[in-house]
A and B are shown apart, each in its own frame.
Chain A
Amino acid sequence: MGSITLKQVTKNFDEVNVIKPLDLEIKDGEFIVFVGPSGCGKSTLLRMIAGLEDTTSGNIEIDGVDATKTPPAKRGLAMVFQSYALYPHMTVRNNIAFPLKRAKVSPAEIESKIANAAKILNLTDYLDRKPGQLSGGQRQRVAIGRAIVRQPSAFLFDEPLSNLDASLRVNMRLEISELHKSLATTMIYVTHDQVEAMTMADRIAVFNAGIIEQVGTPLELYKKPVNKFVAGFIGSPKMNFIDAPQNENANVSCIGIRPEHLTLSTEQGTWTGTVGVIEHLGSESFLHINIEGKGTVTVKADGDCPLKYGDSIFLSAPTDKILKFDKDGLTIR
């Protein structure tokens, strides 16, 4: 069991409002990702759910029971911190055993739970080391191990991968996804990296300045962003925004086209531009093309794109892939 419902929750730090009234329903067993730029209140909301931060107003319900005032330990949630927050003077074994000992679990059961967690997380050989003698990825696993032995009703992750290097991050991403599949426990995962959000989430909540802009599956957010912020935040490289052409409806102030939906042609197209920097990635290339009077757009093209810096080129996009935004940034359907 691990459904969490937020009802009109807000958070103020001494008069400064950080979370505006916010509703969210997290279903049991779901992997939900909170994504948004730095400082938009994701961590604060996660800490409120964990009970580490008071809720200024509104209610947090866990499994249908109001837990707004419940102390952290009683909520049955486990958190993995960005800094890992391992206990540095304890061995890995004791770190993982710590919550079990506090809960007065019998030594034999502790032993079997540690062995089990160590096996899942590949930590068996490191149980007698201290955190200081482990690599970043191993520390991360210990932090996860400490969380899973408690068998919480939900896991909370606060940017757990941001201290790891890029290749390790990809591995850990997979491991966490796999862990979610095997445990089938609710997970709330905070990140500022939309790639992590897109690859791991069942559902994504996009945050901006203390509000949730949109909640939906990764593909919903990609295909039908409700506004310009979500459209620009989801997808890599970022969506191109161009001022609306003259012939458009007066409501439309701006249009958005994803780099992968723009096609290049040497003969004809909607726009003309000059090729700028080309980023070759092997499997694909990103071209930065300067359109006269409209600014620079990014185009995703084949890996063996023959164009060179300074070439003139025509661009076009299928009309059903072009998003239209009004002057408030809302998507027009």
Chain B
Amino acid sequence: MASIDIAAVRKSYGATPVLRGIDLTIANGEFVVLVGPSGCGKSTLLRLIAGLELIDKGEIRIGGRRVNDLPPKDRDLAMVFQSYALYPHMSVRDNMSYALRLRKTPKEKIAAALKGASAKLGLDALIERKPRALSGGQRQRVAMGRAIVRDPQAFLFDEPLSNLDARLREQMRFEIKKLHRDLGATSVYVTHDQIEAMTMADRIVAMNEGVIQQVGSPSDLYDNPANLFVAGFIGSPAMNFLQARTVAGPGGMSVTVGQAEIAKVPPATPTGPVVLGLRPERITLTAPGQGAQAAVDLVEPTGLGMIVHLDLDGQQLKTFTTERLPLKAGERVGLMVPPGSFCLFAPGTGERLAG
């Protein structure tokens, strides 16, 4: 097990910069999830750590040792690929023991490691099979098994669950988390799925366009997004963004959408246009006449609750509630935002404003 230090790392393909200066420290035993939209450079960063691509500028250290110029085989990292990349001509046993055999590990040790890993992953009955005789979920397990027999410095995962169906994905999420709890291994997990990031991570690294946008615990990113990108990327249904203003009134500073006052803000907030971020489930619906006035546009039941689309002074917004309200399109409702459950962003830069 080891920590991973990434300092000022840059990478371009030809003239296109893909990573524009990445600084990140991953502590020993930590489960870090790199999340961001497709094409933002997550896999590239993972492959730089793995040694499958060379760094243009900057430095990567694993367990304190500079690895910039080390080939993958000397970095002692295990990687699980999105495509699983199982060796098709080898049985499950040989797939899983390949790394140990390359290291000339004694036979008894290999057998013991195989036994432990296949028991953990429920692969005992499949050990003699070839990959083509396995289902997608089983292949995924073998790919995991290939990584855990080795006891490497760290695990790297590149979207390991995205080829599975939703139910299996949920189950594997849980199993990977449990494996991490049992093994305590440093893990870097790449995904574009914010739910995977939220549910699995000790710390989330949100990336966009080759730049880290925010690093923090799942609740940090959810409650205190650093900018519009993170606010919009994390959470489902996504945060509402409304064109709003902060104004000084007789009762102090407040944020308004059109004529409607939504919430009070601290007196130090400068007046002017802002982007108001509202999480759908933190908006309370009330009877018309109370709070800001809006019209119901559409109601989407989800089983767990319902998503109510509202029109607030010409702007669209969604609210989520677990109550089953008898709402109809066109009906008027009031909405209230409890103090402290909204975010303000600067309209130009998208950065979070205090308050």
Note whether A and B form a binding pair: no
